[in-house]
Amino acid sequence: MFKTTLLERRQVAEGTLELAFKRPEKFAFHAGQYLQLRLPKLLYRDRRGASRVFSIASSPADKERIIVAYRDTGSGFKQTLRESRIGSEVIIEGPHGFHLLPRQPARPVVLIAGGIGITSFMSMLRLNAERDEVARPHITLLYVNRSQRSAAYLDELKHFEKKSARLTVKTNFGIIDEKFISTSVKNKDQCLWYIAGPPFMVESAQGALEAMGVDSGRIYCEEFPGY
Ligand SMILES: Cc1cc2nc3c(=O)[nH]c(=O)nc-3n(C[C@H](O)[C@H](O)[C@H](O)COP(=O)(O)OP(=O)(O)OC[C@H]3O[C@@H](n4cnc5c(N)ncnc54)[C@H](O)[C@@H]3O)c2cc1C
């Protein structure tokens, strides 16, 4: 458990906020992990209390900050967060989770992000943008949002894609379906598949992959409940 402070808040898409906290020196994590964020006091009532779980969106190589992002639904917890002053104290617990890329993946990787499910993948892609390219497999990011305005981090992702021969970013506005996946990814049989997002999006993507004949042992899912 670590006490830390809020450094920055910014909007990264329609109805979507990103918060940066000071990274405690001893807070170590891997790209793909999540934390529990606890507020010392709620300004608004919230049935689920004063904490939520968020994937870490910053790179483990960023020693200064820990970043999370979320859709601002208006829950008492998130209203309190929205009004929290810069410099105010919060508690983070963690890291937790195993939605991690293998250390030396022998296969190409496909990341399927449904909306805010992009957060944990941002951590992986931000880390990759700082590392040597040679030993890395090709990564294809399939990023599905309701609309362009609700798609967080599009510019940053396009920038990463431009700089790397080992990253392909494909966006789709609407729903995740078999056609989008199959037209975006070559050598489907060889890939490792990672899916993250709201439960209905994860289910749709998983269903589409299984309908395409992808071995379920190569599909790794992380659901963000509450959406
Ligand atoms: C591993 C993991 C990583 C996550 N990463 C992110 C992230 O990066 N960004 C992000 O925005 N969200 C993330 N979430 C989801 C996040 O924890 C919140 O549940 C979500 O943001 C909704 O919170 P809320 O305050 O808007 O709504 P809430 O008021 O918490 O919930 C809205 C409705 O959903 C129901 N609900 C909420 N959680 C559950 C549950 N676990 N089971 C059943 N019903 C539930 C509530 O009862 C309520 O009716 C993650 C969740 C997990 C498990």
List Cβ neighbours of 80 (8 Å cut-off, separation of 6 or more).
39, 41, 42, 43, 44, 46, 50
Please tell me the distance between residue 168's alpha carbon and the centre of ligand 1 in angstroms. Answer: 29
Tokens 């943008």 found at: 129
Cβ of 98 closer than 6 Å to ligand 1, yes or no, is: no
Q: Whose CA is nearest to atom 16 of ligand 1?
A: 53
* Pair 196, 202: CB distance under 8 Å: yes
Tell me the whole-structure pTM to 2 decimals: 0.96
Q: Which CATH class is domain 109-223?
A: alpha beta
To test the pocket of ligand 1, the residue of 11, 34, 37, 70 to mutate (highest count of ligand atoms within 8 Å of its CB) is 70
**What is the per-residue burial (b if ≥16 Cβ within 10 Å, else e) of 182-202?**
eebbeebeebbbbbbbbeebb
Which architecture, in CATH terms, is 2-96?
A: Beta Barrel (2.40)
For the CA of 52, the nearest atom of ligand 1: 17
As a whole number of angstroms, the distance between CA 156 and CA 79 comes to 27
Establish whether residue 50 lines the binding site of ligand 1, counting it when its CB lies within 6 angstroms of any ligand atom. no
DSSP 45: -
pLDDT at 131: 83
What is the pLDDT at residue 195? 98
At residue 137, the pLDDT reads 86
The finding on whether 82 has its CB within 6 A of some atom of ligand 1 is no
Categorise residue 192: left if φ over 0, alpha if ψ from -120 to 50, beta otherwise.
beta
42 within ligand 1 shell (Cβ under 6 A): no
Geometric angle at alpha carbon 30, from 89 and 144, rounded to 5°: 90
Helix (H, G, I), strand (E, B) or coil at 131: coil
pLDDT tens digit at each of 227 positions of the chain: 999 999 999 999 999 999 999 999 999 999 999 999 999 999 999 999 999 999 999 999 999 999 999 999 999 999 999 999 999 999 999 999 999 998 777 899 999 999 999 999 999 999 999 886 666 789 999 999 999 999 999 999 999 999 998 999 999 999 898 999 999 998 888 999 999 999 999 999 999 999 999 999 999 999 999 99
Measured in degrees and rounded to the nearest 5, phi and psi for residue 189 equal: -65, -25
pLDDT at position 133, please? 67
Distance CA 215, CA 208 (A): 12
The rounded Å distance from CA 1 to ligand 1 centre is 20
Within the chain, all domains assigned CATH 3.40.50.80 are found at: 109-223
- Three-state DSSP at 36 gives strand
What letter represents residue 30's amino acid? H
Bridge partners for 4 per DSSP: 90
89-96 and 2-13 strand pairing: antiparallel
* CATH 2.40.30.10 location in the chain: 2-96
Element (H, E) at 104: none
DSSP state of 24: P
- Does the CB atom of residue 51 touch ligand 1 within 6 A? no
